[in-house]
Amino acid sequence: MTTAERPAPEGPVRRGVPPRRPREGAVRQAVVRWVPGLVVLVTALVLWGPSLVDTARRADRVDPIARFLLAVAVVVLLSHLLGSLMVRLRQPPVVGEVLGGLLLGPSALGWIWPSGQAWIFSPEVRGGLDLAAQLGLSVFVFLLGCELREVRLRGPVVAAVGGGMVLPFLAGGAIALAAPDVLAGSAGKGWGYPAFFGLALSVTALPVLARTLVDLRMDRTPLGGYALTTAALGDGVAWLALTGILAASAGGGSGKLVSTVGLTLALVAVTVLWVRPALAALIRRSERRSSPERLLLPVLLTGALGYAGLTQLIGLHPAVGAFLFGTVVPHQSSVIERMQQHFQGFTLAVLLPVFFAGVGLKVSIGSLGRDGGHWLVLVVVVLAACVTKLVGAGGAARLAGLGRADAMRFGALMNCRGVTEIVLAGIGWQAHLISTAGLTVLVLMALLTTAMTGPMVLAVRPAPGG
């Protein structure tokens, strides 16, 4: 190769020769691009900044729509920034999103800057956020119901569900009965309160577990498939149990209970006998069209929200109806998979962070107070949640034939509670089954157990290539 044919060196070839500056042109372009806009922004702030500050100080002069949109923008930005940070720390993004909601609530922003928190999240804004949160929750739980479709009942799966739910349920119920002054809400007088708290310790978050398995490169392993199937069936059992608890805990006496149970059974029968085959026929027909999404998208969304409204009228939570409708949506269709991706995009990006913010505005770490007994309850709940999952789910998996290491990993995976726990805790708080302190305990427990899942699995899992 001649000298002319050799590529030019990237750096200096002799000592004393200064390096080239290939980025000078890029810097000049950045200056030309950003400086005019910066000048306009500074000029606008100088001219109209005082008026904007004066308007912000007088809360009654701020348009409620503008304040609501600003609040949503703050929620989405902070949630996704913290979610991205958690991903860099090898944690599920939901941990950061929930932390964002907590930071905007009385536990952080309300404590550091109470006037600013009250201005951003006024009662009108909170009401709007609650309504948007219910919309996002209904769509998200509908998607959870759709995920239940792949479950196949097998002996090891049933054993794992039983072991992973019964022991945490008993431990949670015992803790609830031992600490009613801290955890019980105004409606926590009967058996519904300990049953709900036991159920809260029993759940496993299917969507967060699926993401965790991908991060751990276990999504295509037999153990990963076993964990996903068990979590999906466990979610179905949990929502069914929650339906019974809410029906029994609703006010109105035995007559109201009988009415709620009867209407619920009728809705389930109509859904299975009529709605499910009608949806299957509609999907088969729409697949012959050039744009099936135009028909199916509004039908699925209307069905999910309509069922949510029906169960609210019956006396249950809207999430129960949305989950029920999701379980009967046929899945042997690429069109349905695309529909779910459409729903997931906006729901996970906007509506679910709004729901987390709504929960965070109700959670107050200060509600635990300075009483050491309250903090002891939190420690006991976290320990019980971890130990019972490891012993119950891991022990059942061991008896079902898994090796010792795989059984321990399985128990650690079942300890992932994530968003499902947050949703369940919010429902219990709305039904007055648990207090604000009880909600705080469950949310903190969900964050801690979810953050523990990856490290616990890695502690007994050999490193890739090791």
pLDDT in tens, 81-124: 998 898 888 888 888 888 888 888 888 888 888 888 888 888 88
Q: Which domain holds residue 159?
A: 104-459
Nearest to 444 by CA among 385, 372, 390, 400: 385
Q: Is residue 112 in a domain?
A: yes
Q: Is residue 109 in a domain?
A: yes
Question: What is the total count of domains within the chain?
Answer: 1
Check residue 367 and report its DSSP letter.
G
CATH code for the domain in which residue 110 is found: 1.20.1530.10
Task: Return d(Cα 41, Cα 18) in angstroms, integer.
Answer: 38
Helix (H) or strand (E) holding 453: helix 436-459
Check residue 347 and report its DSSP letter.
I
Which residues of the chain fall short of a pLDDT of 70? 1-62, 148-155, 251-255, 461-466
The pLDDT, as a whole number, for residue 23 is 55
Structure tokens at 30: 């950045």
Nearest to 135 by CA among 302, 253, 373: 302
**Partner residues linked to 184 by β-bridges:** 434
Q: Is residue 32 in a domain?
A: no
Residue for token digits 């800057």? 113
The pLDDT, as a whole number, for residue 465 is 44
Q: Which amino acid is at 166?
A: V
Task: Return d(Cα 418, Cα 209) in angstroms, integer.
Answer: 8
Q: Is residue 79 in a domain?
A: no
Check residue 348 and report its DSSP letter.
I
Q: Is residue 97 in a domain?
A: no
Contact 267, 311 (CB under 8 A): yes
Contact 396, 159 (CB under 8 A): yes
The pLDDT, as a whole number, for residue 412 is 92
- The pTM of the full predicted model, rounded to 2 decimals, is 0.77
Contact 216, 454 (CB under 8 A): yes
Task: Return d(Cα 80, Cα 137) in angstroms, integer.
Answer: 18
The pLDDT, as a whole number, for residue 306 is 95
The pLDDT, as a whole number, for residue 376 is 94
Task: Return d(Cα 151, Cα 233) in angstroms, integer.
Answer: 6
Task: Return d(Cα 453, Cα 417) in angstroms, integer.
Answer: 9
Q: Is residue 28 in a domain?
A: no
Q: Is residue 4 in a domain?
A: no
Q: Is residue 390 in a domain?
A: yes
